[in-house]
Each structure stands twice: as structure tokens, then as C-alpha cells.
Amino acid sequence: MALSKNVMKVQPSATLAMSAKTKEMIAKGVDVINLSIGEPDFVTPTYIQDAAIAAIHSGKTSFYTPAGGLPELKTAISQRIEAETGVHYDNKQIIATTGAKFALYLIFQVILNPGDEVLLPAPFWVSYAEQVNLAGGRPLAVKTTGMGHKVTVEDLEKAYSPKTQAVVLNSPQNPSGLIYTAAELTAIGNWAVSHDVLLISDEIYSNLVYNGNQFTSVVSLSDAIRKNTLLVTGVSKTYAMTGWRMGYVLGDAAIIKAMTTVASHATGNPTAVSQYATIAALSGEQTDAETMRQAFEKRLNYLFPKIQSLPGFELADKPQGAFYLFPNVKRAVELCGYSTTEDFVNALLEEAYVAVVPGRAFGQPDHIRISYANDLDSLAEAYQRIADFIQTKGNMEA
């Protein structure tokens, strides 16, 4: 039985594959420190769990909901986004989905025709390219020349063709942790408007911003830019709710309607209990979210200088948000006698018991992604293991 051409182009998620391999080793009793994960290590705050349990007991989670989410959920999303960006969206401009990942999948399904191109400034989150492939489009990695892996208008202009349908921006960025300034976003937003290219703004890490850095939402810049932008976000990272699978998109009502139609034939609706949990998360006090943000900030400030000091690791710009470091490790790979970053990463896992993700999946093969969504003791131990590993291997090579 032949598989479809679209699906043959798609690779499994490298981050999930690394996570699965690591969890397998941990299940066998190996003491692996997992820095490959893309999720907070905290459990969902109690007030959200309690709201979900109460919703189950009330009986209202037993039934299908509207495909794009409950009206009261859309209202809660609208209010939170307005509080955070100053921009108001009506319910018909909002869809709630089974995670932001499925939100992005739906977007590409409804905007792309065969051969349409989507620009992905590198490094980019692993799933964008594969989701574009699955929709029959062409993902195009854009070489970035701005400070700290940021894309500029000149970079976009070079990559543009009449087939360019959309560009995906992600700020704060996974994996580099960098944030685009309002000026940088305005230049990109105006470029997209003038070229009639849809801007897909993935702002899933917008609440995980550290050390006084400022996050600007693309949709807050101007009416013209807002109208040309789909804002994608969700509760996974801010509220430690990855397992609940709840994301949402705000933007053009016609696109939202088309996405809702596709979702109605795919998932039916996002799980009802998760919708009630999300209403509680978005409408409640934001103190738990702030406590978790502060913990991530502490971890970043602890781990960044240590990783920066490792022999053969290059990490010039301190991340401003999200929970990843993305050093260039080309010299460390050579120093330790490996020919590829993947070999280095596998040896780190199998011999030093530290799991990280090779950068190739993000479009930058000389880098690795290190997640600091782990407690400080584990981060200290992981750093020591990596340092010892490089020292031992480096000495063997010398």
C-alpha cells in the first residue's frame, strides 16, 4: 500500500523523538537529565485543576461543544488578549483548537494551494516545515542576518517570490529565546502588508519574558498589520498545561471560519474539560503564572553563563524569553572528535546521560537546543556532566 506523496516528505518530530528515547532510558532506570523537553516541568496550577474537576462533576463536559470552542471560552480568550495586547477581537475572529500545534496545522490547510511557499526564518520550530509539507505547500528556510538569529526585511525580500503566501514569525523564539523589538516587528509587518503576504505570528511564549525585557505583540502595531496577521497562541507554556492541548488563533473572520470548518471534520471540537480549564486559567489570578515565570528567569540566569563558558560552545546573545539556549557547538563537536552534531548529541545522551536536541531540526545543524525547564539542581548536574564529557573526549582527541 503506497503512502501519499505529502506524507512521504514528512519526518517525525525530532524533539518528540529525543524526548521518547530519553523517557525510554529513564524507564529502564538510567539516570538521564532531560534537557530536550519543550514543556514546563511544573504541574498545572491547582485553581485550574479544580475548575476542571468541578466542570466534570457538573456534567457539562460530557457533551460535544461548538467546533471552534465554547462562546464563553472565546470571550475569556478575547479578554485576556485585550488585557495583554490592547487589541479587541470579536468571537467570530477566534478559534480554539487542540493545542497551538493543531492551530498552525489548520492555518496551513486553509491558506495553501499546491506549490505555495511559506517563509520560515531559521532557526524555526520543527513542526512549521512539516505542517506546510502536509498541506502541499513548500517550506522555505530563510537565512537570517539580523542580530541573534532575527530575520530582517532584506532577508525576507531575498527569499520572496510571487508564490510566497505567508511568513511565520515566532517571538519569543523557540529555540533561540530572542524577542523581536517593536521597530523590527513594524518593519516586517509593513513588508508583509506591502507584499500581500500573510503574517503568522506564533506568540506562544509571550508571557515567558525575563530580566526586564519587553515583549511586543505584532497585532498591537497598526491596524493594517493586525488585519494581515493571524495571532497564534495558547495555554501550554504560560500555565504549564501542555497535556491539556489547548491553543487558539485570532484574526481574519473568513480564515477563522474556514479553519473551524476543517476542525469540525478533524477533531470535532477541542476536549470540553480542557476548554473549561482554559477559561479558569485565563480569567483567574495570574499569580501562579508569574511564580513559574520567575523560576524560569532564575534558571536562565544560572545556566546561561555556565553554558557560555563550555569549551567549543558559542552563545553570544542572552535569551530574553521562552526556556531554551541554542549554542553553536561546531568547535566542541570537532574538539571531541565527532563529525556531526547528531553524533555528539547521541554520545552525550548515551555516555554522559544528558539529553538535548540537535539543531538540524530547527534549520541550524551546528547548534544544539538545551531546555532549562528543569530544577536548578538538575541543571547544575547536567552542566557538570557536559563539562566532564567535553574534557574527557577533548583530552582523548588531543
Ligand X SMILES: Cc1ncc(COP(=O)(O)O)c(C=O)c1O
Binding site for ligand X (CB under 6 A): 38, 99-101, 125, 170, 174, 202, 204, 234, 236, 242, 247
For the bound state, the minimum distance from the C-beta of residue 194 to ligand X, rounded and expressed in Å, comes to 26
The distance of closest approach from Cβ of residue 106 to ligand X in the complex, given in angstroms and rounded to an integer, is 12
Q: Which residues contact 175 (CB under 8 A, 6 or more apart)?
A: 123, 125, 322, 324, 326, 357, 359, 362, 367, 369
| Nearer to ligand X (CB atom), residue 204 or residue 303 | 204
Residue 279 Cβ vs ligand X, minimum distance, rounded to whole Å: 16
CB of 346 to ligand X, least distance (A): 22
In terms of CB distance, is 96 or 332 closer to ligand X? 96
Residue 240 to residue 339: CA distance in whole angstroms: 37
Measured torsion, CA atoms of residues 349, 351, 353, 357, in degrees rounded to the nearest 10: -20
Q: Which is nearer to ligand X, 118 or 333 (CB)?
A: 118
Q: Measured from the CB atom, is 97 or 336 closer to ligand X?
A: 97
Which CB, 37 or 348, lies closer to ligand X?
Answer: 37
> CA 89, CA 364: separation in Å to the nearest integer?
36
State the minimum distance, in angstroms, from the CB of residue 224 to ligand X.
Answer: 25
Cβ proximity to ligand X, 13 vs 346, nearer residue: 13
Measure the CA dihedral 140/317/296/203, to 10°: -30
When the beta carbons of 320 and 353 are compared against ligand X, the nearer one is 320
In whole angstroms, the minimum distance from the beta carbon of 262 to ligand X comes to: 17
Instruction: Please classify residue 5 by burial: count the beta carbons closer than 10 Å to its beta carbon, then call 0-12 exposed, 13-18 middle and 19+ buried.
Output: exposed
In the complex, which residue's CB is closest to ligand X? Answer: 99
CB 324, min distance to ligand X, A: 9
